[in-house]
A and B are shown apart, each in its own frame.
Chain A
Amino acid sequence: MKRSLWLRLAPYLFTLGFFAVWEIACRAFAISSFILPPPSAIWAALVQYQKPLYTNAFHTLWMTTAGFALSIVFGLALGLLVGSSRLIYAGLNPLLVGFNSIPKVAVVPILVIWFGVGWQPPVLTAFVISFFPIVVNVATGLATIEPETEDVLKALGASRYDIMTKVGIPRALPFFFGALKVSITLAYVGSVIGEQNASNLGIGNLITRASADFNVPLIFAALIVLAVLGVLLVAIVDLVESRMTGWARRSQMVNG
């Protein structure tokens, strides 16, 4: 009883403790606000710049969501295609691996040349960086159907389409949602990188401007906003995942 209460309080206590230690360290060692601002200064910046932080955070959220939506659509489509045909899988695999090994930040200059400064680079960076895990996971989910399951269906005269809809897609769902969790974080990274390099809006851009002004507390305030948004996004995806694929988790728990 007592233990479970502590367990429930632990996340809050640890977070509070973290900021307390930070604050005390900054004061005790008289660390300059230009190097590491104390939480109190960051809080002040959060309050002072709440309007621009709010609008830019909203923009970043938009860019991330748009890029993420694109990767869901294209990642799902390509994943289904790749996973359902051994020929396509064999043919596309080297291309996909090669594409994935490019650090996506290196693509941003090309996006700037193509689209200039605006909403396109952040959205597209978010897209290219986050769609690969979806493709791979969905394809894996489809390609790893147990041969016996397939035999049960084929012996009944099931078509490939039947096998896809009755087994392939439901089976690929946990893989898909698993990928979404990775993907949303990546999309978020992508949109911020895109904003830093090629946008006049968004938290990424705000950080670029704040660093030009040596407004270190504002940079940290922006980072805090990013952290909170990130946690929020992952929590949403988590919720959707557990709603959709509870069976996968529970069946694993039972079968060890």
Chain B
Amino acid sequence: MTATCRRRPSGSFDALDLAGSRLSAFVELHEVTHVYGGGESTPAVDGLSLKIREGEFAAIVGPSGCGKSTMMKLATGLQRPRRGTVIVAGQEVTQPIKITGMAFQNPVMLPWRTTLRNLLLPLEIVEPYRSRLRANKSDYVARAEALLTKVGLEGMGQKFPWQLSGGMQQRASLCRSLIHEPKLLMLDEPFGALDAFTREELWCVIRNLHAERGITVILVTHDLREAVFLADRVFCMSARPGRIIAEREIDFPRPRDLDITYTPEFASVVHELRGHIRTAREAA
């Protein structure tokens, strides 16, 4: 490894003082290799290892096409690795795991459903909600409306997705990924297509949700400021085939205000990460 690792969380002390609740990793990828299409082409990720603690906010950055989305799919069981193991919540992942919520750059709302009914979709699929759908309908609707209010979409439930702006759709997509109270939230460049102001607003939404629910979050992003502002730890990936080449604890105290993004300390962390990314791209 060409890593400039700071405090690899192999010892249990880090885990103890940061997560507090668990000693072992909540999400663990161990020497994972994944090849698309079953052939012998270049692996998308090769020998990828990482551990994320329960309740942690992890950000993953890396050059585009390096396997970040692949890592997400492996962690949620959407793809099975060729080699290596993926463990989430103490269990090896062999099929899609239902304790996750996902949101992507494209909000993928179903256009024939109102925003509210889009939000209810996970509850129509995930047990135990699914079988209680009819009985608890009004509870679920109330829950969806509460979430909408939290992300600033109060009263928008009856609108169709195509009546909402891109930023509003992305907010709704976030709500959908949270409605079944997942333990693990996977965000794959969720703010990539948004303007700078909307993006910063949504950073704060995510920050608050993470603080409130103590949920474990994995955020894939190409925006280093976003990663540093939100995350407890940032992982840098190499160019394809992707591996972790560096990780960086971010110890700005929480709750963080947007103002910290203009401090010199913040800038120097961003700068340091940029160095890793540059190395990764040159190596490719």
Chain A residues packing against B (C-beta within 8 Å): 146, 148-149, 151-158, 162, 166-167, 170-171, 173, 245, 247-248, 250-251, 254-255
| B125 is an interface residue with CB less than 8 A from chain A | yes
With a 10 A CB-CB cut-off, give which of A148, A156, A158, A248 has the most chain B CB atoms: A156
**In the complex, A159 Cα to B176 Cα: how many Å?**
19
Which residues does chain A contribute within 8 Å of B121, judged by CB atoms? 153, 166
9 closest A-B pairs by CB: A251-B162, A251-B111, A157-B98, A254-B162, A247-B112, A156-B125, A149-B108, A158-B125, A148-B108
**In the complex, A170 Cα to B111 Cα: how many Å?**
10
B96 and A157 contact, CB distance less than 8 A: yes
17 contacting pairs across A/B (C-beta < 8 A) = A148-B104, A151-B104, A152-B104, A154-B96, A155-B96, A155-B100, A155-B186, A157-B95, A157-B97, A162-B125, A166-B110, A166-B125, A167-B110, A245-B112, A248-B111, A250-B160, A251-B161
Known: A154-B78, A250-B162, A251-B160. A149 touches B126 (CB 8 A): no
Which residues does chain A contribute within 8 Å of B160, judged by CB atoms? 247, 250-251
A255 and B108 contact, CB distance less than 8 A: no
Which residues does chain A contribute within 8 Å of B100, judged by CB atoms? 155
| B106 is an interface residue with CB less than 8 A from chain A | yes
**In the complex, A226 Cα to B76 Cα: how many Å?**
58
Chain B residues packing against A (C-beta within 8 Å): 73, 76-78, 95-98, 100, 102, 104, 106, 108, 110-112, 121-122, 124-126, 160-163, 176, 180, 186
A156 and B96 contact, CB distance less than 8 A: yes
B106 and A148 contact, CB distance less than 8 A: yes
B125 and A170 contact, CB distance less than 8 A: no
In the complex, how many angstroms separate the beta carbon of A214 from the nearest chain B beta carbon? 55
In the complex, how many angstroms separate the beta carbon of A118 from the nearest chain B beta carbon? 43
Known: A156-B180, A157-B125, A250-B160. A151 touches B78 (CB 8 A): yes
**In the complex, A173 Cα to B113 Cα: how many Å?**
14
Which residues does chain A contribute within 8 Å of B112, judged by CB atoms? 170-171, 173, 245, 247-248
A156 and B110 contact, CB distance less than 8 A: no
Which residues does chain B contribute within 8 Å of A248, judged by CB atoms? 111-112
Which residues does chain B contribute within 8 Å of A162, judged by CB atoms? 125
Of A156, A245, A254, the residue contacting B122 (CB under 8 A) is A156
A149 and B110 contact, CB distance less than 8 A: yes
Which residues does chain A contribute within 8 Å of B97, judged by CB atoms? 155, 157
**In the complex, A157 Cα to B102 Cα: how many Å?**
12
B163 and A155 contact, CB distance less than 8 A: no
Which residue of chain B has the shortest Cβ distance to A248 in the bound complex?
A: B111
Which residues does chain A contribute within 8 Å of B76, judged by CB atoms? 155
A152 and B180 contact, CB distance less than 8 A: no
Which residue of chain B has the shortest Cβ distance to A146 in the bound complex?
A: B108
A247 and B111 contact, CB distance less than 8 A: yes
In the complex, how many angstroms separate the beta carbon of B131 from the nearest chain A beta carbon? 13
**In the complex, A250 Cα to B111 Cα: how many Å?**
9
A155 and B102 contact, CB distance less than 8 A: yes
**In the complex, A156 Cα to B108 Cα: how many Å?**
14
19 new A-B contacts, CB < 8 A, other than A152-B104, A158-B125, A245-B112, are: A146-B108, A148-B106, A151-B102, A151-B104, A154-B96, A155-B78, A155-B98, A155-B100, A156-B126, A156-B180, A157-B95, A157-B98, A162-B125, A166-B110, A247-B160, A248-B111, A248-B112, A251-B160, A251-B162
**In the complex, A37 Cα to B98 Cα: how many Å?**
73
